[in-house]
Amino acid sequence: MIRLLFAVTISVGISLFGTRYLIRWLTSRKIGQPIREDGPGGHITKAGTPTMGGIAVVLGGTIAYVISDLYNGIYTRSGLLVMAAILGASIVGFLDDWLKVSNERNLGLKKGTKVIGLLFVAFGFSIAMVTSTNVHTEVSFTRWDSLSIDLGPVGWVFWAVFVILAMSNAVNLTDGLDGLAAGSSTLCFSALTVISFWAFRHPEIYDLDHALDLAVVAVSMLGACIGFLWWNAAPAKIFMGDTGSLAIGTALACLALATNTHLLLPIIGGIFVLETLSVIIQVLGFRLMNRKRIFRMAPFHHHFELLGWPETTVIVRFWIIGGFFVAIALGLFYADFVEVSDLRGVALP
């Protein structure tokens, strides 16, 4: 518990003050976010707002993890691999952001190039997990043996790559309003911190050797998002950019894979899933229904803006929905624990 408190304190501090410094540095060099011309009209005023704030999030999370792990020194391969994947995804996002600000257009890396970069990160993480850790290769819900569907090492690698690509892009799509992605991610990392620490306290059920270290990773990213949200809350003084959104999405996916909660992740990150579904529905409707738009704009947080909702109203209501999803996920996780404890004769805490 001390390591968790240590990690979250460090990450909040580094992200909070690091973001402030980053805002000044980016502003002095006039490095700002270009705004898409076909977006909501109210967003035009945001043009030029400093971007790439995800640098502070990733550095805050990484430094907090490294420093806190010096306490009793329990670095694990799983924790290090998750952090490496986060850094890798942030580099892909940084290259995308840098091209946007350099070209002064809302066009960064080509879609194919970005996908290749994320595939490299995802396959690297997945292969390393199955070859250098004791990760279970079953498709799992709340624990490794919850479904008893073993994919084998090769199948698990491809499944993990899909989860990472899906979640990183889901967070990226959600990052369109001030503080929406950062606030929602804070809730998700909170859930994964609880899940990881709970697994650490009950190894006889979860068989997760590196659970405490994974909890440190989760709480480090949690603190980093909180520190960044101080400056990213509406009206935002800085945007996280793809540097942050791809890193956060990758972090959520890798933590779920490492903690054997693959199928619980879509519930934990339910708000990100809804945002992604709105884009899929919009595209299918446009292509299959004679170019008919289901939403006024997708992702559908823009739909509610165009209906007349103030931006802050959309953000707070989406946070509330995200909170409900997290509560449901934690409820399912604990309900499964109670059931398994009864079956195996494990004493409840």
Whole-number average pLDDT of the chain: 90
Q: Give a yes or no: residue 322 inside a domain.
A: no
Q: Give a yes or no: residue 76 inside a domain.
A: yes
Q: Give a yes or no: residue 164 inside a domain.
A: yes
Q: Give a yes or no: residue 7 inside a domain.
A: yes
Q: Give a yes or no: residue 42 inside a domain.
A: yes
- What residues contact 221, with CB distance under 8 A and at least 6 apart? 11, 57, 61, 86, 185, 189, 248, 251
Cβ(215)–Cβ(8) below 8 Å = no
Cβ(319)–Cβ(234) below 8 Å = no
Q: Which two tokens stand for residue 204?
A: 């006889």
Closest CA to 258 of 68, 126, 121: 126
Q: Give a yes or no: residue 277 inside a domain.
A: no
- What residues contact 104, with CB distance under 8 A and at least 6 apart? 34
Mean per-residue pLDDT, 146-153: 92
Q: Give a yes or no: residue 310 inside a domain.
A: no
Cβ(194)–Cβ(300) below 8 Å = no
- Using CA atoms, how far residue 90 sits from 9, 266, 338, in Å, is 22, 22, 38
Other C-beta atoms within 10 Å of 144: how many?
23
Sign of CA dihedral 65, 71, 77, 79: negative
Domain range for residue 249? 2-266
At residue 20, the pLDDT reads 95
CA atoms within 13 A on the CB side of 222: 21
DSSP string, 266-281: HHHTHHHHHHHHHHHH
- Beta pairing partners, 50: 32
> How many domains would you assign to the chain?
1
Question: pLDDT by residue (tens digit) across 292-347?
Answer: 788 888 898 989 988 999 999 999 999 999 999 999 999 999 999 999 887 665 55
Which range has the top average pLDDT, 85-94, 277-286, 295-304? 85-94
pLDDT at residue 31 greater than cutoff 80: no
Distance CA 192, CA 155 (A): 24
Which of the pair, 130 or 285, is modelled with greater confidence?
Answer: 130
Question: pLDDT by residue (tens digit) across 194-227?
Answer: 999 999 999 999 999 899 999 999 999 999 999 9
Q: Give a yes or no: residue 300 inside a domain.
A: no
pLDDT at residue 41 greater than cutoff 60: no
Q: To 5 degrees, how large is the angle CA 64–CA 127–CA 120?
A: 75
At residue 40, the pLDDT reads 61
